[in-house]
Amino acid sequence: MGDDPNSTAYIHQKKKAAERIGAILKHEKLPADTSYQYVNTLIQTYNADPAIHGLIVQRPLPKKLSNISQILNHVASQKDVDGFVPNSPFEPPVALAVLKILEEIHALTGSDPVNQGFDEWIRSKAIVVVGRGETAGKPIAQSLAKREYTPSIVHSQTPNPQTIIKQADILISCVGGDSVITKNMLKPGTILIGVGIHRTPQGQLAGDYHEQEIKDVASFYTPTPGGVGPVNVSCLMQNLVKSCIL
């Protein structure tokens, strides 16, 4: 809804991924002044259509529709492939993406000298999530906590945030701003996962840290673009496939 350039880019990525798995993505583009009533009537129509297996409400939404719960509460849980509806059978793809990346990092380390499994390995790490937004920080932290990985959460109201960040073995940054994380904030060897994105004044996509600055401090880091984003979209497609058999 509306003309947010980031939304346009995300939808394009999702459409390409859907085509690769033989799915059809229908983009219902609505103007920024669309009413809640119109959106929810449209959602109810798709809920009732057995040919539709997944519904995504692409965010950010226009200011007029800022109360997202008034929309999400109308999405049928079995079609909520984004995992944002209460009682959804799906886990948010962004959280699944972070976990998959961490699993790959664990595998690349040779499962460490004592041959720990992934659960044991990650539970031995201090995990910090920076940001508590509804589309990234919050669902990622919830998914980690559900698995008893006990993340610490840092946000704009957290006292002494840099002290907490400096202790992180795994740092997941979900803010979407320039230089949210700098090399001086990192413990040497930190695993750095960049989820937050923003556009530079030149219109380029960028992450929460400058890769050239942190690359010699972090043991692993994800680039932006091309890091978490493609894995996120793949996990969304995984949820879509699962929805077909519910």
Residue 31 in any domain: the answer is: yes
Answer positive or negative: Cα dihedral of 186, 187, 189, 190: negative
Which residue, 46, 51, 82, is CA-closest to 244?
A: 51
Adjacent-strand bridge partners of 172: 129, 193
Structural domain boundaries, residue 80: 5-90
Position with higher pLDDT, 147 vs 6: 147
Would the pLDDT of 156 be above 80?
yes
Give residue 109's pLDDT band: very low, low, confident or very high (50, 70, 90): confident
DSSP, residue by residue, 2-33: ---HHHHHHHHHHHHHHHHTT---------TT
Give residue 113's pLDDT band: very low, low, confident or very high (50, 70, 90): low
Eight-class DSSP state of 63: G
Residue 136 in any domain: the answer is: yes
Would the pLDDT of 4 be above 90?
no
In angstroms, the CA 157 to CA 2 distance is 31
pLDDT in tens, 94-104: 999 999 999 99
- Are residues 17 and 69 located together in one domain of the fold? yes
Looking at residues 161-167, what average pLDDT do you find? 98
pLDDT of residue 110: 64
Q: Are 191 and 171 in contact (CB under 8 A)?
A: yes
- Are residues 109 and 161 located together in one domain of the fold? yes
Question: Domain with 74 in it: what CATH number?
Answer: 3.40.50.10860
Answer positive or negative: Cα dihedral of 25, 30, 32, 36: negative
pLDDT of residue 111: 54
User: For the chain, where are the alpha helices, taking DSSP H only?
Assistant: 5-20, 36-47, 69-72, 93-108, 118-123, 137-146, 161-166, 211-214, 228-243
Looking at residues 51-76, what average pLDDT do you find? 94
Answer positive or negative: Cα dihedral of 10, 12, 15, 17: negative
Number of structural domains found in the chain = 2
- Are residues 86 and 100 located together in one domain of the fold? no
pLDDT in tens, 122-137: 999 999 999 999 999 9
- Are residues 100 and 215 located together in one domain of the fold? yes
In angstroms, the CA 90 to CA 73 distance is 15
pLDDT in tens, 205-243: 999 999 999 999 999 999 999 999 999 999 999 999 999
- Are residues 64 and 77 located together in one domain of the fold? yes
Looking at residues 165-178, what average pLDDT do you find? 98
pLDDT of residue 67: 94
Contacts of 227 (CB under 8 A, 6+ apart): 101, 193, 194, 207
pLDDT of residue 7: 79
